[in-house]
């Protein structure tokens, strides 16, 4: 796995070290899993936005039409 170096303010580094210690993991593993988690959240948010855009663009009919179809299906079952 390639290594990456970056700088953190002292207070942030201290908090990261404390959290890694509390989770009984290394600082590098804690940072890696945090970044992976953040990227996963971004990917899920992007997928959600695309899904909602697809719903907006789809012709799903009106609420009234859907309600009528539902009532008709209920009558057919009974």
Question: What residue segments make up the domains of the chain, in order of their start?
Answer: 8-57
Does the pLDDT of residue 78 top 70, yes or no?
A: no
Does the pLDDT of residue 41 top 80, yes or no?
A: yes
pLDDT score recorded for residue 75: 78
- For 19, the enclosing helix (H) or strand (E) is helix 10-22
The burial of 49, by beta-carbon neighbours within 10 Å (0-12 exposed, 13-18 middle, 19 or more buried), is given as exposed
How big is the CA angle at 72 (ends 67 and 78), to the nearest 5 degrees?
Answer: 125
pLDDT score recorded for residue 31: 95
What mean pLDDT value characterizes the chain? 89
Q: How far apart are the first and last CA of the chain?
A: 63
pLDDT score recorded for residue 10: 97
How far apart are alpha carbons 33 and 31 in whole angstroms? Answer: 6
Residue 63 pLDDT grade (very low, low, confident, very high; cuts 50, 70, 90) = confident
């Amino acid at each position: 796995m390639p290594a990456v170096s970056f700088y953190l303010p002292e207070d942030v580094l201290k908090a990261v070290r404390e959290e890694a210690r509390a989770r009984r993991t290394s600082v590098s593993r804690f940072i890696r899993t945090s970044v992976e988690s953040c990227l996963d959240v971004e990917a899920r948010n992007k997928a959600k936005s695309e899904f909602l855009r697809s719903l907006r663009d789809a012709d799903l009919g009106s609420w009234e039409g859907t309600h009528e179809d539902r009532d008709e299906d209920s009558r057919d079952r009974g």
